[in-house]
Chain A
Amino acid sequence: MSTVSVDLAILGSGPAGLSAAARAAQRGMSHILLEKTDHLSDTIYKYQKGKHIMATPSQLVLRSDMPFEAGKREVILTNWDKDTARHRINVRLRSEVKAVKGQRGDFQIELADGATLQAKAVILAIGTQGNPNKLKIPGGDLDFVQYTLDDPRAHFDEDIVIVGGGDAGIENALGLADPELANRVTLLQRGPDFSRAKAANVQLLEQAKEQGRLDYITECAPRSLEPGLMIIDTKDGELRLPCNRVIARLGSVPPRQFVEACGAKFTGPDREAFPQLSPSFESTVPGLYIIGALAGYPLIKHCMNQGYDVVEYLAGNTALKPADEPLLEAKFAHLPMRRSVDEWLEFLRREIEIFNDLSPLQMREFMLESDVRFYRKDDRIITRNDVGSSLFTIAQGSVLVEINPEDPSITVPIPAGQIFGEVGLISGRRRGATIRAAGDTLCVEVPRSAALKLMGTVPGVKRRIDRITTERMMKIIFGGDIDPARLNRILDAATLRTLKPQEALITEGEVGFDIYVIRSGSLVVEKNVGGKNVFLSYVPAGAYVGEMALFDNGRRNATVRATVNTEIITMPGDLFKEMLAAQPNTAKRVQEQIANRRRVTDYVEAQKAGFSGVVDMYTSVADFLVEQGLGEATDALLIDETLCIGCDHCETACAESHDGISRLDREAGHTYAHIHVPTSCRHCENPHCMTDCPPNAIRRAPDGEVFIDEKCIGCGNCQRNCPYGVIQMEKTPPKKPGLLSWLLLGMGPGPGQADHDWIDKQLAKKHTEAPKVAVKCDMCKGIAGGPACVRACPTGAAIRVSPEGYLRVAQAAGAEG
């Protein structure tokens, strides 16, 4: 076997790897670029055909020997192919790397085809896609087994088995089951239901089965495969399925395993963790460098710049400043103190406790996403009842927390080095108190996404933030005057746990004394009355439950259940009792809450004989709303179908006030007791859509609106992550002729969302490229008068409400029903 030996091996030909290879070639280094697939840059290759690729952030200059500017996928890929040839990059395609062993000066790289290479240094740029899990059954390696589906329309009149009931599998099944294609599609799912997939997808799947367009089998596993036949085990025994194509969608192994197998360490155990890197991108294995998406930089421009930089560092150019230097300079430019970027980074890292453990590279990254703000004495930093989910850290000076909303002069200080705003970060709820600067104060505001990344990356930070959050939550709930020693004892004893949706925290009738504080998510309280579950109340994050048992000999008199994934702080009942004994004020407040809760219980008990219909109705409406995701919403659109005349004015108004695209679909969605939950954003407390947005384009405004800003690159991740299917990918339509030209002259398509043909035709006429970007309801942020959908409804059918409000709606419906 021949062994190739190079100075530098680059693994993965995405934008990061390509750019590194181009630099190496330019510098005349002996190099090789290894790519798993038979083409360059597989992640981008797999984008939708014709996708418009964006070059954000626009302020960041591109530093690479490869060209890159916003444009069509095809153009960019063709250019890269040309430049790869022009730079004489030494590419080896179809070269999946299986293992990397050794360290600087002596790496052995093993390929899947059995070849081995030697290299003095290695750059890992394999992205975050990972490798699909393989179908491990006899016959699983036959050539009609595939792990991706490019175009369902390429398959006609086939017997197709899809393995795996996640979103990918379901979406493929639905695509292939189009009656026009005449495929016979069967989907196999290991579990009893499709709990991993989005509700909207599951609904479509069930509908398709009902209509006989496809079939699915749950609680089954494939056993073996031969041409034309798959044998599967089901709970009723063996089943033989005709099969001439298998699409296995079994998830993928994240590349972390591969990286760890190379010997490199990660920053922590969580999913959010990244490899530990030096400022020159060197991992904990000397000579092994990690760049690109794998290193935590999700945008193409970042990746390309790093490719260039890492090769320069490797070649000994230590004077090179990273390309993002000007961006950081701009962040610090408005501050009254003068320091260089490096001095600033070092200063903040030293002064702010939770940054202490960060590497200089991580510091750079966090500062790129965060903002440094300078406040004068008495400037308001956060305001009570605003919605905000960013975390603040104090670099210099100190702040005052107004603990009594009635009297702003009563304050508690937070000193330099500490954090605040963490309750909003964790629970997604409104700010609990107004905080102002005590004197000249310098703060770093870390947006939610970056803060979560920080917590995932540095385990110590997570522990510290968790503890501070619990402490402050306790203070907000039980009074700021709580004795610190007692509080510490409570904190030491408190434990954290996560409930799944529908999981019971307390079961009626059992004995228990613990008190539960809701850290994030929400709960519903139900009581069994005459054999039926009756809805009593909705308990949001920041409140507590379980106190009633203390006064009922520990017997729980209601069942408490999570509506969505919910984090709970458990606090031992005896400590709580002690606290009440020592703090009469708190005791009084707790007593009031108990009296309130008891009144509701008694009311329901009293009603059960006479108005059981009413109570039933109230309960089922509340259950319905919680099921529709309103348990995690902060503001959602409901339509009272006893009033809705179906004029779709709400949609027209939304389109008119939002670039011509309606962000709600009135007819879609579920209805119960004439309350309709249309497909429209719920502005979730902890928005799922935010979790995986490469440019961090989804944010939360001070009034609570979750919105997508102009940084969106149209990757579609948020659309996939939103469980309620409210995000659409759309081109921005061109401007329409005005209302009068339409009314009087019949010009243009009229008010509302123009149809797609009109939009495409107009865009074609203008020869402008309109990229598809994510659009969703922004609650008419910044539009005077508020939500246009509500204002434009002629009958008052359309209303927007908060969770507490929904349950009022539920109550009204119950009372009428």
Chain B
Amino acid sequence: MARGNTLTDRRSGATHESFLRHQNYLYLKLAVALCLVSTVAYIFFSPVPRHNGGTWLGYTLGTISAVLIVWLTALGMRKRAITPGKWSLKGWTSAHIYLGLSLVVVATLHTGFQFGLNVHTLAYVLMMIVIVSGVFGIFFYATIPQRMSDNRAEKSTAQMLEEIAALDNDLREAAQPLASENAIVVQRAIDNTKLGGGVLERLRSNHPKCATLQAMNELKARRKSGGDDLGPILSVLERKGVLLERARRHVRYRALLELWLYIHVPITFALLAALIAHIVSVFYFW
């Protein structure tokens, strides 16, 4: 049909492929190729007395590994320097993951399996920790988003907090006519509402000392003994409980998506330090 409406280049973002599938697994293919070549070279080349980092193959694999590590670290810069140009962070992430994983093979072959209690092996162990933490990260990236989306049900973080604040207002109002010992319980539920907090709190979706839950239990217990009509306030508390649960799950999901980076990144810097020590030391003692 003669309707001029083609996609332009600027819409290249329209290709809908996840970071794992980026460009039809281009970087996975590259990484596999790198591993295969390294392994084949390792098998066919048999140095005397044995494989280690000091042979020409060892130097080559070591250099490749070191360059890769520096480049993998550079993702931190790429993420933050939003420069013009045809780069895509998705492409970088995709390459980061697959080439990062290929280090398991390339760097291991470099060592010739010569491990000991020394700075060289320290660098190696740190590298493996970074890689393993990365694998966890990928696991979370692949599984959490959908659940986070379902849980938040179109609400933004700010909206969740607003709603909880609005219910706190309702609580305050509903507590006006109550006897003071009941009102105090409600006030505690308002004052001690906790969301997030330290690492452990953020990772749990139920809060051990949830003030709202406590207040609910206490008031339920008192309802039996007569006195104030606690029905209305309990229903507000219940609604708040539900909202809090959702908000806590949200915080938990966000924590899962982020907290592994608190291992991944600092250990990366330790790794860089150990790596420098390793390289300096091998040249020094050579």
Choose, from A132-140, A362-370, A409-417, A801-809, the stretch at the interface. A801-809
Closest to B169 in A: A179
* Residue A607, interface by CB 8 Å: no
Closest to B81 in A: A739
Residues of A within 8 A of B90 (CB): 793-796
* Residue A641, interface by CB 8 Å: yes
Closest to B156 in A: A667
Prevailing SS type, chain B contact patch: helix
Residues of A within 8 A of B228 (CB): none
A540 to B253, CA, bound (A): 40
Verify A671–B154 contact, CB threshold 8 A: yes
Choose, from B16-24, B32-40, B193-201, B271-279, the stretch at the interface. B16-24
A793 to B7, CA, bound (A): 21
Closest to B168 in A: A179
* Residue A301, interface by CB 8 Å: no
Q: Assuming the A-B contacts A657-B82, A784-B85, are A805 and B14 also in contact, with contact meaning beta carbons closer than 8 angstroms in the complex?
A: yes
Interface centre among B4, B80, B145, B157 (most CB of A within 10 A): B4
Closest to A403 in B: B2
Contact among A431, A432, A540, A649 with B89 in the assembled complex (CB-CB below 8 Å): A649
Residues of B within 8 A of A476 (CB): 2-3
A585 to B154, CA, bound (A): 51
Verify B82–A652 contact, CB threshold 8 A: yes
- Minimum CB–CB distance from B145 to chain A (whole Å) comes to 5
From 107 to 157 in chain A, residues with beta carbon under 8 angstroms from any chain B beta carbon are none
Verify B145–A213 contact, CB threshold 8 A: no
* Residue A542, interface by CB 8 Å: yes
* Residue A785, interface by CB 8 Å: yes
* Residue A385, interface by CB 8 Å: yes
- Minimum CB–CB distance from A120 to chain B (whole Å) comes to 59
Interface range on chain B (Cβ under 8 Å from partner): 35 or more
Contact with B along A697-715 (1 / 0, CB 8 A): 0000001100000000000
Verify B82–A785 contact, CB threshold 8 A: no
Contact with A along B77-94 (1 / 0, CB 8 A): 101111011111110110
Verify A751–B80 contact, CB threshold 8 A: yes
* Residue A345, interface by CB 8 Å: no
* Residue A676, interface by CB 8 Å: yes
Verify B11–A797 contact, CB threshold 8 A: no
Contact with A along B154-171 (1 / 0, CB 8 A): 101110000100100110
A701 to B181, CA, bound (A): 67
- Minimum CB–CB distance from B89 to chain A (whole Å) comes to 5
Closest to A478 in B: B2
Verify B4–A384 contact, CB threshold 8 A: yes
* Residue A82, interface by CB 8 Å: no
Verify A779–B10 contact, CB threshold 8 A: yes
* Residue A4, interface by CB 8 Å: no
- Minimum CB–CB distance from B274 to chain A (whole Å) comes to 21
Verify A802–B5 contact, CB threshold 8 A: yes
Residues of B within 8 A of A429 (CB): 3-5
* Residue A668, interface by CB 8 Å: yes
Residues of A within 8 A of B5 (CB): 385, 429-430, 540, 542, 802, 804
Residues of B within 8 A of A433 (CB): 4
- Minimum CB–CB distance from B34 to chain A (whole Å) comes to 22
* Residue A74, interface by CB 8 Å: no
A58 to B267, CA, bound (A): 57
Residues of A within 8 A of B2 (CB): 432, 476-477
A543 to B5, CA, bound (A): 11
Residues of B within 8 A of A750 (CB): 80
- Minimum CB–CB distance from A678 to chain B (whole Å) comes to 10
A147 to B11, CA, bound (A): 47
Residues of A within 8 A of B18 (CB): 640, 643, 795-797
Residues of A within 8 A of B17 (CB): 796
Verify B13–A792 contact, CB threshold 8 A: no
Interface centre among A477, A593, A703, A794 (most CB of B within 10 A): A794
A477 to B144, CA, bound (A): 48
- Minimum CB–CB distance from B180 to chain A (whole Å) comes to 23
Verify A646–B145 contact, CB threshold 8 A: yes
* Residue B48, interface by CB 8 Å: no
From 135 to 193 in chain A, residues with beta carbon under 8 angstroms from any chain B beta carbon are 179
Known contacts A431-B4, A790-B88, A795-B90; 5 additional CB pairs below 8 A are: A429-B4, A476-B3, A644-B149, A646-B148, A667-B152
Question: What are the nearest 7 A-B pairs in CB distance?
Answer: A790-B13, A641-B149, A667-B156, A656-B82, A784-B84, A796-B90, A794-B93
Interface residues of A (CB under 8 A from B): 179, 211-213, 384-385, 429-433, 476-477, 540, 542-543, 589, 593, 635, 640-647, 649, 652-653, 656-657, 665, 667-671, 674, 676, 703-704, 739, 743, 750-751, 779, 783-788, 790-802, 804-805, 809, 812
The 17 sampled A-B contact pairs (Cβ below 8 Å) are A589-B1, A640-B18, A641-B149, A644-B149, A645-B145, A645-B257, A667-B152, A669-B154, A785-B87, A786-B12, A788-B82, A791-B87, A794-B19, A794-B92, A796-B17, A799-B14, A809-B16
